[in-house]
Chain A
Amino acid sequence: MGIQAGVNGVIQMAVKHTKKLFIKALNKKFGKDFDLAGQKVEYKRLGIEQNARKREFMEYAKKVEGKRGMTGYNPYVHAGGIPMGQRQLVPYKLSGTEYVVEGDDLHFVNNPAIQQMWDDVRRTIVVGLDMAHEVLQKRLGKEVTPETINNYLEILNHAMPGAAVVQEHMVETHPGLVDDCNVRVFTGDDALADEIDDQYLIDINKMFPAEQAEALKAAIGKTSWQAIHVPTIVVRSCDGGTTSRWSAMQLCMTFIDAYNMCAGEAAVADLAYAAKHAAVLQMSEMLPARRARGPNNPGGLSFGFLADMVQTSRVAAADPVKVSLNVVAAGAALYDQIWLGSYMSGGVGFTQYATAAYTNDILDDFCYYGVDFAADKFGGFAKAPKTLDLAKELATEVNAYGMEQYELFPTVLEDHFGGSQRASVLAAASAITSAIASGHSQVGLAGWYLSMLLHKEGWGRLGFFGYDLQDQCGPTNVFSYQSDEGAPLELRGANYPNYAMNVGHQGEYAGISSAAHAGRMDAFACNPLIKVTFANPGMVFDWADIRACFGKGGAREFRAAGERSLVMPAV
C-alpha cells in the first residue's frame, strides 16, 4: 500500500499539466507588468482613497449622514484612525469568466445575484401531481385529462403569484411585483409531456443532453411533478418555511376552481395534505430547535441537493471541473456567506473567506492540474480505483502542487491571505480531483482530509482553532456508518454534526458531491426531481453559470426579482 517510488525513491511525474491559470487574473489585479513572483514589495500605504468602491461608499455615507443627522460609515475609525488600504486594495476576477469586481461587490448585501440565488432556492417547492389526481379520480370520480391539466396550469399560474380564484371581493398581489412566480410541470412520460402546453412544461428532452434526459426520465418514470416557484418578494418578507404553505393554499384553490369542487368538501383536505406533506419535496430539511429554522432554509440543504440545483452539468458535461466549481461557488456564497456568515454568525468577514473558492482562477488551476494528471494516468474520468490509496496518491500530489504555487507566486499567497482560504482551496482541489478520478464522493472526501493534514504539516499552520479541529478529526467520518455521521457525502448537509460551524467547508463538500457524479457523467448527483426543477427556464438566477451570474451581480448588470420600487416613490 502506498505511492510507488521510482529510482532512488524519486517519483517521476509529468509537469505538462501546470497551466498557471491564475496568471491572467493576477495581472488584472496587480497590474500587467507586475512581478508576480517577487517576495518583496514597496507598500505604498495609499489608504482607503485608492479604491473606487470605497470612495463611493464614503461619498454616499456623507449624503446619508446629512439626511438622518447621525454618523455612519467612516473608514477612519478603523484601527484607531488607520484605514484599510495600507496594502493594495485589489479587485477580484470571477473564476472562469471575464468579470472583474471589487471585493465589496461580492458581499451578498451588495450583490443582487447572490441574493437571488438564495431566493430561488427558498421560493421553490416540488409537489407531485399524481396523488391529487388520484383523489380527483378515485374519490370524486372526476375526469383528469391533458386538457384538464392544461386548464389547471393556466389557473395555477394566475393564482400562485397571489391572485384570487373562486372567491369574491378578494385582495390580490400586483402582477409587476410577482412576475417571477411560475409553475411548470415535468414528467418522465414522453406521451404525457407531449400533451402539456409548452409554456407550462419543463421539457426534459429539450433542456438536457440526450443521455442525461434518458437517465432522468427513467428515474422519474411515469410520475408527474410541479416545479413551483412562489414570488421572491414573499420569501423575502417571510422565509423559506412559508413556501410550502403559500403554494399549498394556491394549489388547493386552483383544484377547486379547475375541477369544479366544493370549497368545503372533505376531499379538499386530501389535496391539502398532499400539497403540504405527502407529495412535497422541500429544498431543505427543518433544523433542530437549537438552530431554529424551518424547512427551505439554508442550514438543512444537503450537499447533493445543491449539486443538483446547479445546472452546469447539463450545459458543460464534458468539463467535470467546471461543473464542480460552479457548485463550489454556489455553496461558498450560500453556505459560507449567507448561512454561516449571516444566519449563524453575523457580520461581514465570511465573504472574504468564501470568495477564495470562486475568484482568480486559483482553485480552477489546482483542479485542472489534478484532474488532467489523473485522467492521463487512469485513462479518463471515473476510471481510477475507488480506494484510500487513490485518494492518497492524488491528494498528496495536488496538495503539493497547490502549496508550491502559493510558495512560488507570492501574489497568489497574498490573494488568499488567510490560512482557511488556502486550506479550503487546497483541500477542495485534492478532493475534487480524487472524486472525479474515482467517481466516488467518499474517496474525494478522504482526499480532502489528507490535504488538510499535509497542509498543516508543511506550513505549521492551517485555518483557525475550530476549523483545524474539524479537519484533524475528520478522516474518521469518511467511511463511518454510525447513525448520526455515516451518511454518504451527498446526503450530508450544513447541519451534519461535524460541519455545522466552520466556514470554507460546506460549499466545497457540495462541490465534491457534484465532482463524483460529474466524473461519471451522471445526469444527477442525488435527486432527479431537483435537477429537473432547476432546469426551469423561468428561474431568475442563472443556475447554469453561477460564477458569471455573481459577476453580473457585482458589475451591477443583474436584475433581481422581488423589488418594491413599483409601489414606492422614486429615489
Chain B
Amino acid sequence: MAYKPQFYPGSTSVGINRRKHMSGNLEKLRDIPEADVTAIMGHRAPGADYSSTHPPLKEMGEPDCPVRQIVAPTAGAAAGDRVRYSQWTDSMYFAPSTPYWRSYWGAINCKGCDPGTLSGRQIIEARERDIEAYTKTQYDSEMTDVALCSMRGCTVHGHSLRLEENGMQFDMLARTEMGKDGNVYAVKDQVGIPLDKKVNLGKPMTEAEAKKRTTIFRADGVPMCGAVGARKYDEAVEALHHMWELRSKWGFRPE
C-alpha cells in the first residue's frame, strides 16, 4: 500500500488549510510575472545573468558518490548559482499563511531549500533560480494575500500590529501601497529600495476570504480551545498534549 502522508490533524478549516500548505496542494490565485517577482526580490535585475559561486556541476568533475548519483541537483545547484533568499511577513489578522506553515511548505515541497522560522518573518534560502521559482509559487498561490503578506528582507515590523485603515499590514518602509483602483502595488523591493516601476499585485482578499483561507487559530475566527468558560479543544491540541506528555516522560527515563 502506497504511503499517504496525513500531514496534520483536525477537521476545521484551519486544519484543512494547514494540510493543504504542507502537501503543496495549493490553489493558484494570481500570476505575477517572473520579472516582477525578480524585481521585488531585489537580488538581480530582471533579465540579468545569474551570479555564480562555482562552475556548473557538469564542468566540475564531481567525485564518484552514490548520493550524488541518487539525488539530482536542482537547476540552481547544477548551474552553480549563489544562494539567495526571500522572506515573508504575514499578518496575524488572518493572513493565509504563518511562519511555520511557510517553513513546512518549503521543507516538504521545495528541494534544496533552507527555511528559517521566526515570529515576524519567515525566510527561505536556496540557489537563486530555485528561490525565484519557489517565491513565485508563494506569491501566486493561496498562501499569500497581497495586503496581509509582504516580502521584507529587513525592517519586518508589522505582523502583530493593527492593520492600516485600508486593510493593509503595517510596514514602516511602505514597500507596498493600496492603489486607487483597489489593487495593491509593490513600490520597493524586499529591503526597501524603490523599484523602477510599480508592480501590480492585484486585489487583496476580502476579510471573509482571508478568514476562510487562513492557517491561524484565533478566538474571533476558528478558536483552538473554544472560549473562556466553554473550552473545546481542537484535535490538534489533543495530539499536542499527547506529544508533550511523551516528551516529558521520555526525559525521565528511569531505566
Seen from chain A, the residues whose Cβ lies within 8 Å of a Cβ on chain B are: 1-3, 9-15, 18, 38-43, 79-80, 82, 84, 86-87, 388, 392, 396-397, 400-401, 403-404, 407-408, 410-411, 413-414, 416-420, 422-423, 446, 449-450, 453-454, 456-465, 468, 473, 475-481
Contact = CB atoms under 8 A, between A and B. Distances in A.
B163 to A, nearest CB: 5
Nearest to A411: B162
Given A388-B248, A478-B248, A480-B251, A457 B240 contact: yes
Given A38-B162, A417-B161, A400 B225 contact: yes
Given A39-B162, A458-B224, A87 B244 contact: no
Nearest to B94: A39
A459 B163 contact: no
Contacts of B162: 38-41, 410-411, 414
A475 B251 contact: yes
Interface string B189-222: 0001000000000000000000000011111100
A476 B192 contact: no
A401 B216 contact: no
5 contacts: A87-B170, A388-B248, A401-B228, A459-B92, A464-B117
B227 A477 contact: no
Given A41-B162, A41-B165, A413-B160, A2 B241 contact: yes
B248 A460 contact: no
Given A454-B240, A479-B248, A12 B160 contact: no
Interface of B: 18, 92-93, 97-101, 116-120, 154-155, 157, 159-165, 167, 170, 172-173, 192, 215-220, 223-233, 236-237, 240-241, 243-245, 247-253
A459 B98 contact: yes
A392 B241 contact: yes
A458 B250 CA distance: 24
5 A-B pairs with least C-beta separation = A419-B119, A460-B98, A476-B251, A86-B172, A400-B225
Contacts of A12: 229-230
B250 to A, nearest CB: 6
Given A11-B230, A87-B172, A419-B120, A479 B251 contact: yes
Contact of B216 (A413, A459, A480): A459
B220 A408 contact: yes
A528 B102 CA distance: 50
A82 B98 contact: no
B117 A465 contact: yes
Nearest to A14: B229
A84 B172 CA distance: 8
A115 B7 CA distance: 50
Given A407-B219, A468-B117, A476-B251, A400 B170 contact: no
B224 A449 contact: no
Contacts of B170: 43, 86-87
Given A40-B163, A465-B118, 16 more contacts: A1-B245, A11-B231, A40-B165, A41-B165, A82-B173, A86-B172, A410-B162, A413-B161, A419-B160, A457-B240, A459-B92, A459-B216, A460-B100, A476-B247, A477-B251, A479-B248
A397 B229 CA distance: 10
A392 B245 contact: yes
A15 B173 contact: no
A10 B231 contact: yes
B224 A413 contact: no
Contacts of A457: 217, 224, 236-237, 240
Contacts of A18: 228
A518 to B, nearest CB: 24
A128 B161 CA distance: 55
Contacts of B225: 396, 400, 403, 458
A418 B161 CA distance: 10
Contacts of A463: 118-119
Contacts of B253: 480
Nearest to B163: A40
B160 A79 contact: no
A30 to B, nearest CB: 11
B160 A417 contact: yes
A42 B168 CA distance: 11
B118 A461 contact: yes
Contacts of B163: 39-41
Nearest to A15: B229
Contacts of B223: 404
Nearest to A474: B247
Contacts of B98: 459-461
Contacts of B219: 403-404, 407-408
A403 B170 CA distance: 21
A454 B18 CA distance: 16
Contacts of A13: 228-231
A463 to B, nearest CB: 6
